[in-house]
Amino acid sequence: MGNSSSSLKIDLCCGAQVQPYADALSHMRVEEFRNFPYLYNGTHETEREAIHRYIDSQESRVILAVDENTKDVRGFLSGFPVIADHTVFPTCKPFMDEAGVLPEKIFYLGEIILDEACRGDGTGRQMMELFFREVEKMDQFSHIAFITAVRPKDHPLRPSTYRPLHYAFLRYGFKQLGTFEMPYQTFTTTYEKSEMISNTLAFWLAKKEDILSKFFSCKKISSQTKKIPANDDQGHSFIGSKHNVV
């Protein structure tokens, strides 16, 4: 079912304000993370626990795209202090130490998820702009981090149209600092069944000021050309078909 961006309202939620949307967000995470490259067979229970990272931290920022007609959540983008994540923080702290950046200075970009019908019309970019405007105000953070899954080019579940996210991330100043292994229920050769295996994930980091400068510079160029590429709202989108970060 199609959806016009004119009926979408882009809203900001912080901390406990996320609570009323917890069920909708956990459902979207389950559906989105099944896809390549994450291939995660999650449950609503585990994803609701993940949503509590946003609810429990007043410094979290969740950008919602809500259909004003149906009140359905059609997309969301999340971020929170990296130290609020008890999986990412301890596992990736060696990368932060090597970069010489205190964990308390890093804001973690969790995911951007957007219904396919809402992609390609600038909605994703509006969400990113509001997110970066918020992070810009947060002087306690000097860097932004995120995580992506690493899969081989010949993976049997890789779509023919898949475009790796790092091409988009690189233009905003992100650098991959290293990879690590994480076990989870994973679809391997088919979506019919999953198994607990180790997955390779990559940790990315960039200076906040560099990201903001490059993002808003690109936005200015885009507005001058009056055209937004169709791929901009796909994939954890600016993040290209799915920027979903864990």
CATH number assigned to the domain comprising residue 194: 3.40.630.30
> Considering the domain boundaries, does residue 60 fall inside one?
yes
Q: Is the pLDDT of residue 245 over 80?
A: no
> Considering the domain boundaries, does residue 243 fall inside one?
no
When pLDDT is cut at 50, 70 and 90, the band that residue 229 belongs to is very low
> Considering the domain boundaries, does residue 218 fall inside one?
yes
Cβ 99 vs Cβ 204: under 8 Å: no
Cβ 238 vs Cβ 167: under 8 Å: no
Domain that holds residue 41: 5-233
pLDDT of res. 190: 96
CA distance 107 to 120: 27
> Considering the domain boundaries, does residue 220 fall inside one?
yes
Q: What is the pTM of this model?
A: 0.84
When divided into structural domains, the chain yields a total of: 1
In 3D space, the residue among 107, 114, 42 whose CA is nearest the CA of residue 79 turns out to be 107
> Considering the domain boundaries, does residue 238 fall inside one?
no
40-43: list long-range contacts, CB under 8 Å, 24+ apart: 40/184, 40/185, 40/186, 40/187, 40/246, 41/184, 41/185, 41/186, 41/187, 41/194, 42/184, 42/185
pLDDT of res. 4: 52
> Considering the domain boundaries, does residue 163 fall inside one?
yes
> Considering the domain boundaries, does residue 203 fall inside one?
yes
| pLDDT tens per residue, range 97-139 | 999 999 999 999 998 899 988 888 889 889 999 999 999 999 9
**Which whole-number Å values give the CA distances from 208 to 141, 174, 188, 221, in the listed order?**
8, 10, 36, 20
| pLDDT tens per residue, range 151-183 | 999 999 999 988 876 777 788 889 999 999 999
